[in-house]
Amino acid sequence: MSDLLIDPPGRQGPGQIGGHAVRALELAITKRSAGVLPGEHRSAGLGSGTELSQLRPYVEGDDVRHLDPAASARTGEPHVRLHVPERTLTTWVALDVSASMAFGTTRRLKSDVAEGVVRVVSRLGVRRGGRVALLRWGATTSATRVLPPKGGRAALGGIDRALAEGVAADRSIRTESFADALERLHRVARRPGLIVVASDLRDDSRWHRPLSLLARQHRVLVAEVSDPREHALPDAGIVVVVDPENGDHVEVDTSSARVRDAFAAAEAERRADVAERLRRSRVQHLQVSTEGDWLRDLGRALR
């Protein structure tokens, strides 16, 4: 475990993720990602596969297993079938482990929900022979991690270990922004695939352009994780609010309706700006919360 990441206090984990839920989401995520599953991608050249490319007379050196009995009988000479080979789908999961992800005031922390999204997407990604890779950002450079694409249990085991390491500690120095992470992802994810981002999107870096570049080559889904207390302040008198990223303390009088209204308006403006930037980037925007059933929310958003 990295000494630059911590197991956040109050960590609950994402909860039970049943196999039936993953199977139900498989069809939904396929629809949202425009059917990017193995067998639905064309690969260069000819080879074994399910889609017929051409039917032609047999020549010496052809694989006799590709002989087509019907065409051979119809024409009176041996014919072989050549197919377009299938390319397996690679799913890249980009996980935010910044200190703000350790916040939560309801059933779970935001990092718990992000963990659940990563686990579901990873399990979906290895189905049908697919591969899954992980890019983690939001802490110091030493704590960032890239797990290359793998399939099966090897991929899921590596992701489980990365998730267990936790998130960045409060006031840790972030050396890689969301924009930096997207640029790095653009360099390593060279073949078209599916990219799923799990983050609270509380990063002021100019991530719109690198996200747009990724969306030109890949199908991109961004799961924005939030907590209800980030949208509106409760009437709880004088409270001290701490920024986990830089440690700044601010005393707030939440009994003031004017203060609560101003906070809610500023947060609504910020979320509208995030949604607009995602829309301009032409990515799918999913919203999941620490409140309620995040798995159901994920499924509803994907339908």
Query: pLDDT (tens digit, 9 = 90+) per residue, 102-118?
Result: 998 878 999 999 999 99
Share of the chain above pLDDT 70, in %: 79
The ranges assigned to domains in the chain are 5-38+88-227+275-302, 51-84
What is the per-residue pLDDT across 250-298, written as a single tens digit (0 to 9) for each? Answer: 888 889 999 999 999 999 999 999 999 999 999 999 999 998 788 887 7
Tokens of 135: 């890019």
What is the per-residue pLDDT across 65-109, written as a single tens digit (0 to 9) for each? Answer: 888 888 888 889 998 887 654 457 889 999 999 988 999 887 899
Go through 149-187 and write b for each residue having 16 or more CB atoms within 10 A of its CB, e for each that does not: bbbeeebbebbeebbebbbbbbebebebbbbbbbbbbbe
Q: In the predicted model, what is the mean pLDDT of residues 171-180? A: 78
Does the pLDDT at position 172 exceed 80? Answer: no
Give the mean pLDDT of the chain: 82
Q: In the predicted model, what is the mean pLDDT of residues 4-9? A: 78
Give 18 or 105, the one with higher predicted confidence.
105
Look at residue 23 and give its three-state secondary structure. helix
Q: Identify the CATH assignment for 5-38+88-227+275-302 out of 3.40.50.300, 3.40.50.720, 3.40.50.1820, 3.40.50.410.
A: 3.40.50.410
What is the per-residue pLDDT across 177-199, written as a single tens digit (0 to 9) for each? Answer: 899 999 999 999 988 889 999 99
What is the per-residue pLDDT across 20-49, written as a single tens digit (0 to 9) for each? Answer: 666 666 655 555 444 444 444 444 444 444
DSSP code for 141: G
Give 156 or 61, the one with higher predicted confidence.
156
Strands 51-57 and 219-226, sheet pairing: unpaired
Does the pLDDT at position 156 exceed 80? Answer: yes
Q: In the predicted model, what is the mean pLDDT of residues 222-236? A: 91
Write down the pLDDT at residue 174: 65
Residue pair 89/129 in contact (Cβ under 8 Å)? The answer is no
